[in-house]
Chain A
């Protein structure tokens, strides 16, 4: 009744199906010419099983006795294109835009049911999709905005609990909550830094205080909890922290980030690690720097993840370089896990710190190129 009528495909069993039924050589499609598909009741013969990315043209002839359909599937049985209702004796043409290299599957479905007779189809190279670029970048910022929203919601909830613990004088509980709460902040810090006064109010370190600036936020409470013991104004500081975080969360949800912001944020988080966490300066009193380290890395990964389709298209080499280096850093971090969290900074050897530093440098290298690629 509609433009397309298609029986469904049950995912999963695809692999089981007759690859053998599909012959067809490994040769590339003749330049410009359509790839012919000969469909019968038991076979699905595709004239080429490899093609360059771009517009692919299939010419499907039904030489069987049943009405058939032809599909091209991307991974996960995502339909790239289909032509249906091919009566016996008919030839139908199908043009599909396949911009990404990868492994696809062709399928003929005699009788228009079932998973069809499948064959592997490889697409190589990559065609530029100028028109889609803006969409991809918009998708990237949208996906990252979702991430920021989820992290800031958790940040607010956890900060409230942390503040309550401080106010009730429950030092042990507050200490236990300190590092995990901060991870939500550290993941989205580049966003927080967009709001001039809020980031210092929430996250300033004592050593970085400027003349006349009040020492508030997480690190002030860190000092109270670990070094000096709770102060008469600790409760007020906790309340102010909750208020500041609330403001931040509300603003973070409405901020319009650009794809370039994401790229710079991913790099910025790594710089944070290099200047603060590797040196142990961030958490002078609690020594929970590795929690922040992990959170910075998570945030950086999330930004890259959102940009991945764009990066993959423009510079696949860079993507794999980033992936490799991220993995290296993560492996080093995983080695320092302890319970739900990490070892304290003070438990690290000089050697381990040096290893971290060089792994972070190695990751910073490709990350610094991401913005350039996004700006292309």
Chain B
């Protein structure tokens, strides 16, 4: 009872914290600490919005229609993919400047508005927040009815997620810069591919896109989402135990296009750039 709530909290927390921790690590590593002050308002706004909407949904019978919910969730995810993709290439651009040791040009390469940083943190957290808030309210309500286990489990799960994300952040800032860019960049590519797949799946559920019942695979027996490893996979990569063909195609296409683009130019200092090599 406690454990399954813990897994939900872990998963929801990871989904939200992963992108934020990489963003923060990136800003810290590239001496852009000044931009950090835009991260926190983004997160705060997302939390406030989620809690507010979650409360309204829980305490009133007012409700979006199912299609509207899915449309909202699906579109937010796809917008978020756009932002995370931009972040990936923003980081790549920064790594180029570093590899060329053109530190003077760093600021230019990183010329991205505070608004973008704010929006990115808002989206990363907000996408998860609504769902999490509704869940949290349900847990609080049942605690009033005498069962605190789900609430405890849920809180522990979120705490573990934040700890993991912090660990990732610490690890990330200990990497040498080149490795940091490569590792987090590749990680983000897979994260974004997962978000894209899930966004499309939401739109399929709402009936805006066809093919909800056309499954590419069903791994609910081998890697159930309710297991700890399934929850981890889902939290990090948006693994889905039952994946539609459209979802799978989008995932593969995204990775096949974005990953080579990201790796095209060696991001790590350890990879020598041969003079005269054509780009």
Contacts and interface: CB of A to CB of B under 8 A. Distances in A.
A2 B76 contact: yes
Interface string B55-87: 000100101011001101110110000000000
A174 interface: no
A187 B50 CA distance: 53
Given A67-B8, A90-B139, A91-B142, A6 B205 contact: yes
A140 B195 CA distance: 35
Contacts of A78: 207
B202 A112 contact: no
Interface of B: 1, 4-5, 7-8, 15, 58, 61, 63, 65-66, 69-70, 72-74, 76-77, 127-128, 130-131, 134-135, 138-139, 141-142, 145, 147, 149-150, 153-154, 194-195, 198-199, 201-202, 205, 207, 212-213, 215, 218, 220, 224-226, 234, 238, 240-242, 244
A66 interface: yes
Given A89-B142, A89-B149, A90-B150, A95 B61 contact: yes
Interface residues of A, number: 38
A57 interface: yes
Interface in A343-363: none
Contacts of A8: 212-213, 215, 218, 242, 244
A1 B58 contact: no
Given A2-B77, A111-B224, A87 B202 contact: no
Q: Specify the main secondary structure of chain B where it touches its partner.
A: helix
Contacts, number: 131
Contacts of B1: 65, 87-89
Given A67-B226, A87-B5, A89-B147, A2 B74 contact: yes
Contacts of A92: 134, 138
Interface in A1-23: 1-11
Given A3-B72, A4-B202, A65-B1, 4 more contacts: A6-B201, A89-B150, A92-B138, A113-B224
A79 B242 contact: no
A15 to B, nearest CB: 15
Interface of A: 1-11, 55, 57, 65-67, 77-82, 85-93, 95-97, 111-114
B1 to A, nearest CB: 4
Given A8-B244, A87-B154, A1 B212 contact: no
A3 B4 contact: no
B205 A1 contact: no
A86 B137 CA distance: 12
Contacts of B150: 87-90
A113 B73 contact: no
A15 B63 CA distance: 30
13 contacts: A1-B77, A2-B76, A2-B77, A2-B195, A6-B201, A7-B242, A8-B218, A8-B244, A87-B1, A87-B139, A88-B150, A90-B150, A113-B224
A4 B138 contact: no
B72 A87 contact: no
A85 B234 CA distance: 13
A95 to B, nearest CB: 5
A122 B77 CA distance: 35
A9 B150 CA distance: 27
Contacts of B212: 8-9
B65 A97 contact: yes
